[in-house]
């Protein structure tokens, strides 16, 4: 066995699941978060949601590890598309300070609970 090579399935699992966070960070680094302003908030939210749903379905019916890793990465990128669009919609929908604060609180709660 080589150094750094996982010796059990249990040790590989966290590394596989980190693909999502890495892909999400790459999506943010290549400035996907600016696309809602350029292409429209609603359109980017729908693109992100549809892509996330499709990749989730494909992960569910998948039977190979390699495809799972690729799909999980694509799911992370679709999350990077969806998240800024959703926040932008929340900020523009609620004008009053109290309503906006409450909406941001709910958005933060859902976004935090959705973290893997």
Residue 31 pLDDT > 80: no
For the question of whether the overall pTM of this predicted structure is more than 0.75, the answer is no
* Confidence (pLDDT) at 114: 66
Place of tokens 């109290």: 98
Interatomic CA distance for residues 97 and 100, integer angstroms = 5
Structure-token pair, residue 78: 């679709």
pLDDT > 70? residue 12: no
The whole-number pLDDT of residue 61 equals 93
Q: How far apart are CA 84 and CA 11, in angstroms?
A: 33
CA distance 100 to 74: 31
């Amino acid at each position: 066995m080589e150094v750094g090579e996982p010796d059990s399935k249990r040790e590989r699992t966290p590394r596989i699941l980190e693909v999502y966070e890495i892909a999400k960070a790459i999506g943010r680094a290549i400035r996907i978060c600016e696309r809602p302003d350029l292409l429209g908030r609603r359109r980017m939210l729908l693109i992100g949601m549809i892509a996330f749903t499709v990749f989730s379905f494909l992960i569910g019916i998948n039977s190979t590890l390699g495809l799972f890793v690729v799909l999980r990465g694509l799911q992370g990128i679709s999350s990077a598309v969806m998240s800024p669009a959703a926040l932008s919609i929340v900020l523009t929908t609620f004008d009053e300070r109290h309503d906006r604060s409450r909406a941001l609180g709910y958005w933060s709660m859902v976004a935090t609970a959705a973290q893997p």
